[in-house]
Structure formats: structure tokens, C-alpha cells
Amino acid sequence: MPFELQPTLEGELLLLRPLQPEDFDELYDVASDPLIWEQHPNPDRHELKVFEAFFQDALESGGAFVAIDRKTGKAIGSSRYHGYK
């Protein structure tokens, strides 16, 4: 049985589901805060063009998720597998 890279995972506080192109605007609203990236290796990821490239790469990876706050229904972040292939 093959490993499913993008299951939907639900908990009491959080829903993780496969990242979709239509998640871009809501996720960029969160990611556009420069303080989030201040200590990240890519501190300019809050810039639109940089985030667009990051988001596209995440979609193409086949293993990216969007994190949804179950209480508000809003995207609060994303995650993905790194180096799994």
C-alpha cells in the first residue's frame, strides 16, 4: 500500500488538508507579515513575488498542506514534507 502524502487530518483545533491554488490569497494574508519571517532563512518571503514562487513550489511538491483554524475556518499557515523523494 503506497503512503498517502496528502491526507486530510482533523483535530479539535486544527484541520490540515492538501494545499490548493485557491488557498493563495488567504495564505498570503497571513504570510505577508514580515515579522513571521524575521528569523527565517528566507526573511523576504513576505514579499509577494517571493511568496508566489514559494507557494507554486509547494503546490508542485505534491506534499503540501494548508492549516485551518477549526474555530474560525481561516488559514493560519502551511506545511509540507521536505526531501521525501
Does residue 21 sit in helix, strand or coil? helix
C-alpha cell at 43: 526573511
Q: What is the DSSP secondary-structure string of 35-63?
A: HHHTTSS-TTTTSHHHHHHHHHHHHHHT-
DSSP character at residue 32: T
- Which tops the pLDDT comparison, 55 or 83? 55
**Within a 10 A sphere around the Cβ of 23, how many other Cβ atoms?**
20
- How far apart, in whole angstroms, are the C-alpha atoms of residue 51 and residue 8? 24
Domain residue extents for the chain: 9-80
- The answer to whether 61 and 54 are in contact (CB under 8 A) is no
- What number is the average pLDDT over the span 26-47? 95
pLDDT over 70 percentage in the chain = 96
